[in-house]
Structure formats: C-alpha cells, structure tokens
C-alpha cells in the first residue's frame, strides 16, 4: 500500500524481458534506500514491484506478464526519462495522499499541459490504441473531485467528461517540481490507477443487485445509490 506522495526520482533500465534495474537519484532517495530490503515493495511510476536485489544506489525488480501488459513498463517508449519512486506505507505513517495499491488499471496519455499562476493544468486521455482493452477499466473510476494516481502521484480530478474518457488535474508547484510529471510532453504515456474505494463500492453493488436471505432469517438491504446516499457515502 502506498500514499501517492513521491519520495524520490530514479532512472530505469531493462535487464532482460521482465527485470529492471532502478537507480535512485538525489539526496531525497537516501530515505528510501536507508532501510530498503529484499522483498520490500516499491512503487515505480505507480507500479508496485518487489525488490529482488539491492544495488549501491538502487535495486533490481521483476515484473509479471500482467504488469508488463497493463503498464508503461512493457512499452518500448517510456513515459519519461525519470520514474517516480515511493516506498510502501508503514504502520503509523501519515496518509497525506490517498490509498494507492500500485496495481495499475491501464495506460493513459497526456494530451496537454498549461501553466497557470497557481498550478499546472494537465489533461489526460486513454489512447485509441488501448481504448477497447482498458478504457472501461479506467474510466468508470474517474469522477469529479475523486482521487486518481498518475505515474503513482496522488491527484484530484478537477474535471472529466460524462464518459470519463478524458480528465483534468491541477498539479501544485511542489508536486510538479518533485515528480516526473514535469518531464512529460503531450503524447507521453502514463500509468493510471483509480481509487480503490470506488472499486469496492462497485463490487458491493454488484453483489447486492437483489436482496438475499442470511442465516438468522433477516433480509439484507439492497445496496443502491440511494442506500449509499442515505448512509453518508455521497
């Protein structure tokens, strides 16, 4: 589990078909590397990877075929020259972003970036190449003012269309300066992960499409949008 608050930047280099060498950069990476151990989880551009080998200034990790298919790690063109790095959330640590699992839903594309006085407004879409395969898995979790992880960065959706095939976020100066979002250009690919809370709500509503009996003879209420609203979920 992660928070979407990036700790350091790094570079990534393939070491065979499914392994990658990640080099951590800058003074900020010292905290990440300090207690890094084999078996630890690290989010690399939002992708949860397991450390297999410790390097002097980084680590080696492997990616499953599913991970390579769904993320930029499996694409010949990387999203940027640098990758965002975050160690796993420790018990008792502050949760400054939102719950990020590191299980990427699919790939998005930066359409435009505009600098304003207070932030960088970035608009992302799902490329047509991937729309049939992944769009439904990403778009249904994108809602205005909801959370989304872009390359592992916790962001708030400022706006989106009715089908959520595009969305906009406002990136504050600190997040822009400390992550690889500042290196993205229109056409760059990014990893997208929807909010896990939305996924659980979707699952519960699917299970509760009709009322059912339980052991004590009572009947469980159907979970609908009205039921959720009445119980404080909206």
Strand-pair category, 58-62 with 47-55: antiparallel
Closest CA to 90 of 134, 145, 35: 35
The token pair at 1 is: 């589990």
pLDDT for 193 equals 94
**Model confidence, pTM:** 0.83
Examine the pLDDT at 232 and tell me if it is beyond 80: no
**CB contact at 8 A, 51 and 38:** yes
SS3 147: strand
50: confidence class by pLDDT, cuts 50, 70, 90? very high
Q: How many CB atoms lie within 10 A of CB 193?
A: 30
pLDDT digits over 112-134, tens only? 999 999 999 999 997 554 555 55
What is the C-alpha separation between 199 and 103, in angstroms, rounded?
Answer: 12
Question: Among 15-19, 86-90, 135-139, which stretch is predicted with the lowest mean pLDDT?
Answer: 135-139
What is the C-alpha separation between 139 and 149, in angstroms, rounded?
Answer: 13
The token pair at 44 is: 């690399």
Domains of the chain, CATH where assigned: 8-87 (2.40.30.20), 106-197 (2.40.30.20), 199-230 (no CATH)
The token pair at 165 is: 């095939």
216: confidence class by pLDDT, cuts 50, 70, 90? very low
Q: What percent of the chain has pLDDT over 70?
A: 81
């Amino acid at each position: 589990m992660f928070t979407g608050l990036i700790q350091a930047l790094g570079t990534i280099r393939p070491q065979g078909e499914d392994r990658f060498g990640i080099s951590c950069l800058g003074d900020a990476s010292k905290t990440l590397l300090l207690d890094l151990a084999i078996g630890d989880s690290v989010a690399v551009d939002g992708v949860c990877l397991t450390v297999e080998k410790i390097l002097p200034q980084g680590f080696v990790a492997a990616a499953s075929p599913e991970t390579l298919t769904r993320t930029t790690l499996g694409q010949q063109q990387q999203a940027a020259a640098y990758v965002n790095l975050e160690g796993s959330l420790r018990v008792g640590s502050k949760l400054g972003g939102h719950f990020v699992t590191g299980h990427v839903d699919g790939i998005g594309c930066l359409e435009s970036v505009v600098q304003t006085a207070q932030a960088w407004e970035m608009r992302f879409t799902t490329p047509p190449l991937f729309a049939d395969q992944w769009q439904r898995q990403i778009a249904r979790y994108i809602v205005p003012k909801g959370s989304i992880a872009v390359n592992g960065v916790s962001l708030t959706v400022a706006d989106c269309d009715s089908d959520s095939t595009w969305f906009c976020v406002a990136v504050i100066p600190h997040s822009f300066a400390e992550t690889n979002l500042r290196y993205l250009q229109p056409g760059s690919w990014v990893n997208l992960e929807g909010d896990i809370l939305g996924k659980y709500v979707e699952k519960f509503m699917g299970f509760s499409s009709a009322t059912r009996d339980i052991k004590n003879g009572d009947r469980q209420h159907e979970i609908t949008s009205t039921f959720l609203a009445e119980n404080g979920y909206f």
